[in-house]
Amino acid sequence: MRHTEFWSRMNQHLGEGYARVWATQYVMADLEGRTAREALDAGVPPKQVWAAVWSALELPASER
């Protein structure tokens, strides 16, 4: 997964305006206590960050 696909999925599920806000404020244990933005900036692969977001948002398996 590329960063563009990650952000596309975030926008799809949270809306363009809220996706970036959520990604900078919501801390996830699956990302070692980081936000999605912090994890991406630290070099965590977007696919791994998406898995944490998917779990946090309790999205259906089809969105994994």
pLDDT digit string, tens, across residues 20-61: 999 999 999 999 999 999 999 999 999 999 999 999 999 889
Q: What b-and-e string marks burial along 11-47, b requiring 16 or more CB atoms within 10 Å of the CB?
A: eeebeeeebbebbeebebeebeebbbbbbbeeebebe
C-alpha 52/C-alpha 17 separation (Å) is: 20
Tokens of 20: 């970036």
Enter the pTM of the model: 0.92
